Amino acid sequence: MHDLERRVIGKVMRRLIPFLILCYFVAYLDRVNVSFAKLHMNQALGFSEAAFGLGAGLFLHRLFPV
């Protein structure tokens, strides 16, 4: 690998890795938030477990497609 390639890859990694870590952290917080929202939404709106599971599954699948 040439010196220029190493410098470019290093610069890309220094900029990309922190951004990817931040994205992972935000995705984790979003998933945890859904479980906390479940506690209040089921009581307030009268959702069944199946209805909430379907809604959460569709929401998370849309945000984080496989």
- pLDDT tens string 2-56: 899 999 999 999 999 999 999 888 888 877 777 787 877 777 888 888 888 888 7
Sequence-separated (6 or more) residues with CB below 8 Å from residue 54: none
10 Å CB burial of residue 41 (0-12, 13-18, 19+) is middle
Residue 49 CA to chain centroid, in angstroms? Answer: 22
Residue 59 CA to chain centroid, in angstroms? Answer: 11
Output the pLDDT for position 15: 93
Query: Is 0.85 topped by the overall pTM?
Result: no
Output the pLDDT for position 64: 59
Output the pLDDT for position 12: 92
- How big is the chain, counted in residues? 66
